[in-house]
Structures are given as structure tokens and as C-alpha cells.
Amino acid sequence: MTADRIDLSDVSPEITAETDRSRHGTARALAWDIMGRTGIYLLVILSIVVGAAVVTDAVVVTDRERMDEFIESVTGRVSESRIDNALSYADPSKVTMELVHDGRRRRYNDRNASALKADARKALASLEGSKLHLIQESISLKGERARIALRLRTDAGLANTVFDLRRENDVWFLRRVIVN
């Protein structure tokens, strides 16, 4: 036996086989450890990607969802707050708006924008306090324009209403309201 080499000729074969198995077991354990860490990293990355997709879906509001919000704002019990909420889609100083009611047309722009709220309340005065039940809806989206046609049941009977909207800088504005 020399200092540089160890002579294993007198060691039994069982001990040598056991040593080989433990070396392979350690390598196998190391491989599982590395694969386990890689699996954890992949799981974390997958969670981040899925989480980002969910957050993006929750944050991004589609045009259809905006139209549904608008419909929600113009149906239900007619009150001053509901009228104000629906009028939040109108800004005659940016987009000229036309109101057609009882065969009369009235245009609103930056010169007479202040009259819109009063005229809308006057047009809806007969419905104040009643509930507008949505019977049928039709939504047409074409680029920067949208048309929403609603058939509503009121305390007085059926009403057909058409809303034309136009998008400017990702904001939808009322362009025309037709109430029959």
C-alpha cells in the first residue's frame, strides 16, 4: 500500500458493490434534486404567465363589455341618477349629439350642451319612477362606431330605442338617441 493509492484487493466484493450503489444513489438523488428544482422553477413561471393572463383579461375591457355597461346604465328604474349616468356617455362639446323624440329632432353641440340634461329629463319625465325591462337588444360594432337597438317594456307599454355611439381616444360618446 502506498500513500498515493489505496489497495482494495483485500476488501470484500460486497463492500465494493455497496459503495458503487451508494455512488449511483447519490447521483440519482442529485438528478432528482435538479429536476425537482427545475420543475419548481417551471411551475413558478407557469403561474406567473397564467396570473398575468388573468390580470390582463380583468383589466382590458372589450368594446362589447362597454356596450353592456351602457345598456345597464339605460335600463332599470328611471331616476335622475340613471339619467345622469346615461348622459355621462354624451359630451356635445366633443361629439355633436342628436336627440330624436316624438318626431322632433334636436342637435346638441358645444354651443347648447347645457340644454341636453334638461331636455333629456323632460323627454323621460313620463317614465320617471317606472322600470325599463329589457326585452331585446341588438349591438352592432363597426370600427369606431356602434349601434345599440333596445326594445324595452315600460309601465306604459313597449318602447324602441336606438343609440348611435362613436369612439374617440378609446372613449365611447353618444352621437344620436332615437326614442319611439
Task: Identify the pLDDT of residue 119.
Answer: 83
pLDDT digits (tens, 9 = 90+) for 4-29: 665 655 655 555 555 555 555 666 66
Measured distance CA(22)–CA(149) in Å, rounded = 77
Contact 162, 146 (CB under 8 A): no
Specify the amino acid at residue 137: E
Domain 63-179 matching CATH 3.10.450.50: the answer reads yes
Listed by start position, the domains of the chain span 10-60, 63-179
| Phi, psi values for residue 173, rounded to 5° | -120, 140
pTM of the model: 0.66
